[in-house]
Amino acid sequence: MNRNYLFLIFIILNIIFIKISNSTIQSNNNKNNFNNNKNINNNLEEPKSIQTIIDHYFGNFLTSPLGKKVSSKHYIIFEDPLEKEIPFEKSYGYNCKHDEISQKLKKPNFKKRHIYKKVEDYYPESSSSSYTSFSSSSFSNENKEFQSTEILNEKELIPQQLTLQRPVQNRPITNKNDEPQQQAQQQAQQQLEPQPQQQSIQDKYKPIPGYENIDNNLLNEKIQNNKIRFFINESYVVGKGDKGACHMVGQKIIMGFSGVVKEDCRIDVFSGAILNTPCFYSCQEKDILTEDLKVLLMDYVVKATFDIFTSIISVRTPDKTLKLVEDPDEPKPVQCTRGVYIPEELYTTGINNTDHYVFITSRPTPDLMTIAYSLICDSPIYYYGSAKDEWVYERPRVSVLNFNPNYFTKILESQSKWTFNQFMRVGIHEMVHSLGFSSPLYSSFINPESGLPYSVNKTITKTVQENGTSPLGKPFIREKYLISSPSVVNFTKEYFNCDSAEGFELEDYGGAGTAGSHWEKRTADEEIMTGYISPTLPLSRLTLSFLYDTGWYFPNFNYSEQHKWGSKLGCNWLKNCEIDSWSHQGYYCDNFREMGCTANRLGKGICHIVRYQDTIPVIYQHFNSTSIGGSNRASDYCPYYQIVHSVSCPSCSYCSNTEESPNKSIKEEFGKNSRCFNYNLLYLSNERFINRRTNTSNNNKKVKTINNNNNENNENNKISSNSDDNSNNNNNNNNNNNNNNNNNNNNNNNNNNNNNNNNGQLYDEYQENNIISDPMANSLSRKSNVEKKVGCWVNRCSDKNIVQIKIENEWLDCNYNSTLQIPLENNQFSTIVLELVCPTDMDLCINR
């Protein structure tokens, strides 16, 4: 009896506790949704990181028979277009062209899978219309700005070729021949009967099951048990049946997603891009899907990609059986993209234990710069809606993921961990698109709190207007397009330390494929879902918050990767890149091609500024000139230090890239914990250096730390001496100054020669595309003729948040706003000293 009473009391206390907890959670939902989401995964077991998974598969590749085989095999090294100095008008980085469905075509008798957009500007010499699927997403190097003309291809999109999925609610199917008669009858009936009150949009929807309020423990249980399950169709890679892939040199394949082929492909001489898709393409050596490449893709790249997603993503409402809704009017078999057919099994019996069906292909692409692309093939319709903007789709169920053989063969060629990581992350980017990061699906996202689509209250996206004035005093009004879902809004406020933030900005540059379906590069930089590739591509909390707000997935936030671009820099930094708001390490720069440390000191970059022949839009003007701006248009022409891998900056590199060759003469070291620092080389007489040096706590190292807090010239600090012989000091100073002047003159001559050479080279390249490089633009002033030196060293932060730099296995304190001097070489008469410039504030220890 006592046990029963105790048990009853225990149950009552638990019920009271749960009610209190639920009321607390509900009261805090509107206050800080993001913080609640941040704690979702606290009780989960500490996971492997994304980088750990990638490194694991790369290590397996190197030690596999394939890795050992290719290490001794001679591969033809094809010319990499990225290693050229390519004008930014034609290309910048890898541009993800995620083509969207147009609002014009979004009407009930067309399914999004078969809607295409005409892109005549992109293929100017095309004699026939070129189309790409709206949900196609590709990482490429194309940066040509073009306008998409939304025209319906009647031959391609006849109703018999379209799949129309049945909605959750039953909808009567009528004969098209009866439509005029039925419309007339309906109009007559409406005139006779009183018009009912119009139903609100919210009344049309019912909350979707599975969105009830649940506590964190139950949520974590769902995350563990509902890991997303993929069915990988590898038949288009493993065999030789894919007619869209290249199996031998000279083989003819059809290039292009759709359309009637009438002629051979015409290739642009400069970029290598195909100009007239659809066309017959003759396979080259670089396009061949070799047996080695098949093994690399299926055993390592694909497995790693889906291992990452099954670790990160859980499905809110998993499918016991993945079964698609069949349209009786659609021809069979159903074609996802050219030559890729959805199995009949998916429409009849379905596939058990599957949430998402993925076709893997490895085909060459019309754009030479495309690394990979994705394509959503099937996304069930939850609600049709009476208006074109009221359609609600469910979670995507079928997609295609294509890997360009030209690029992934480079992994076999180089066996580079850095290359493997970069291309792996391109695949991750494309799969995020396949899961729903596509602007046509935004209004279909389900609010996790209510179970209703965001379109009910139109809260998923927002357009804001900001007033501003250009440096030349011209006022402007700028429109920004934001994702304003709850978790994304709260992330933005916390990340940037900006309470007035209304959401995270979407990309506004590029064609329909890039703009609107990626994060704005100015504010997200190298985050994995920006439209332009970089070697790092971290999957940050921003994208995971977005996936959570779709209402379709539970992301494991413990897998989020560090991304510090703009972190804690405030609302003014977020608004625009101005010299005052961007006056932080690595951001705003105005010295053409000056070397410098990038933001957060992650690498050695260059101030990449160009003069454009055309006027830059006033909202993107950042100098006292209408034609000078940063070279990266996707970053709104903002001038900042960029890591540009080209002939213009052979020394540019990421400090974490251990495949780079360090400068051993300055004790440089690359590694995971390596960061960029400015440095100088001092040439001092031994007598003067002996008077300068002091012994620190590092007894084996003769190091001098100089405080730069005073307003004296830093050069005076460098050459000052404690000797009592002032006349000798003056003589030494004069001699040194003369030597320095001579060196500066030589450097200036060299710089002028280099600039002249660069001017001749770059002018020819940029002028063709209305961009003129101008290293000594009249509107810009060079701060110094002395070349700025930067290098990478391993460092850490002490318990007191003091930066410590590792030099030859010794850790040296680098106090803020000071310099650290380390002897490098000496002889009988002089000593060469490495002078490291320590951070001027605590940015390095704060932004680790």
250 Rama sector, left if φ>0, alpha if ψ -120 to 50, beta otherwise? left
Q: Is 700 helix (H, G, I), strand (E, B) or coil?
A: coil
Give the total residue count for the chain.
Answer: 848
Helix boundaries (H) for 450-518: 486-496
Q: What is the DSSP string of 539-584?
A: --HHHHHHHHHTSSEEE-GGG-----TTTT-HHHHHH---TTTT-S
Q: What is the 3-state secondary structure (H, E, C) of 106-175?
A: CCCCCCHHHCEEECCCCCCCCCCCCEEECCCEEEEEECCCCCCECCCCCCCCCHHHCCCCCCCCCCCCCC
Ligand-binding site membership of 518 (annotated): yes
Phi (first) and psi of residue 189, to 5 degrees: -65, -40
Determine the distance from the C-alpha atom of residue 649 to the mean position of all C-alpha atoms in its chain, rounded to a whole number: 22
Specify whether the CB–CB gap between 402 and 338 falls below 8 A. Answer: no
Query: Which is nearest to 51 in space by CA: 488, 528, 519?
Result: 528
Tell me if residue 796 falls in helix, strand or coil.
strand
Nearest C-alpha neighbor of 271 from the set 512, 133, 88: 88
- Structure-block tokens of residue 429: 């980017």
Query: Of all helices (H) and strands (E), which one includes residue 736?
Result: helix 726-767
Contact 361, 236 (CB under 8 A): yes
- Give, in order, the Cα–Cα distances in Å from 407 to each of 190, 371, 427, 527: 62, 6, 12, 21
d(CA 726, CA 12): 88
Nearest to 446 by CA among 399, 412, 485, 420: 485
Among 781, 769, 743, smallest CA distance to 592 is for: 781
- The reply, when asked if residue 433 is annotated as ligand binding, is yes
Q: Which one is catalytic: 430, 505, 527, 660?
A: 430
User: By three-state DSSP, how is residue 805 classified?
Assistant: strand
Assigned token pair, 9: 């009391």
Look up residue 797 and give its two tokens: 């932060």
Handedness of CA 445, 451, 453, 458 (dihedral sign): negative
Catalytic: 430?
Answer: yes
Query: Is 56 assigned to a binding site?
Result: no
Helix (H) or strand (E) holding 605: strand 603-607
| Cα–Cα distance, 715 to 733 (Å, whole number) | 11
- Other Cβ atoms less than 10 A from the Cβ of 725: the count is 10
Torsion angle of C-alpha atoms 724, 730, 736, 739, degrees rounded to 10 = -160
Q: What DSSP string describes 409-460?
A: HHHHHH--HHHHHHHHHHHHHHHHHHHT-SGGGGGG-B-TTTSSBGGGTT-S
Alpha-carbon dihedral 312, 315, 319, 325, rounded to 10 degrees: -100
Contacts with 563 (C-beta within 8 Å, 6 or more apart), sequence order? 524, 526, 527, 538, 540, 541, 542
Q: Which residues contact 812 (CB under 8 A, 6 or more apart)?
A: 696, 698, 701, 703, 804, 805, 806, 820, 822
Judge contact between 248 and 290, C-beta under 8 A.
no
> 3-state class of 392 per DSSP?
strand
Beta bridge pairs of residue 399 = 358, 376
Return contacts of 576-584, CB within 8 angstroms, 24+ apart: 576/466, 576/468, 576/636, 577/522, 577/622, 577/635, 577/636, 577/638, 577/639, 577/640, 578/622, 579/622, 582/638, 582/640, 584/843
Annotated binding residues, written as ranges, equal: 429, 433, 518
Annotated binding residues for Zn(2+), written as ranges, equal: 429, 433, 518
- Cite the active site residues: 430
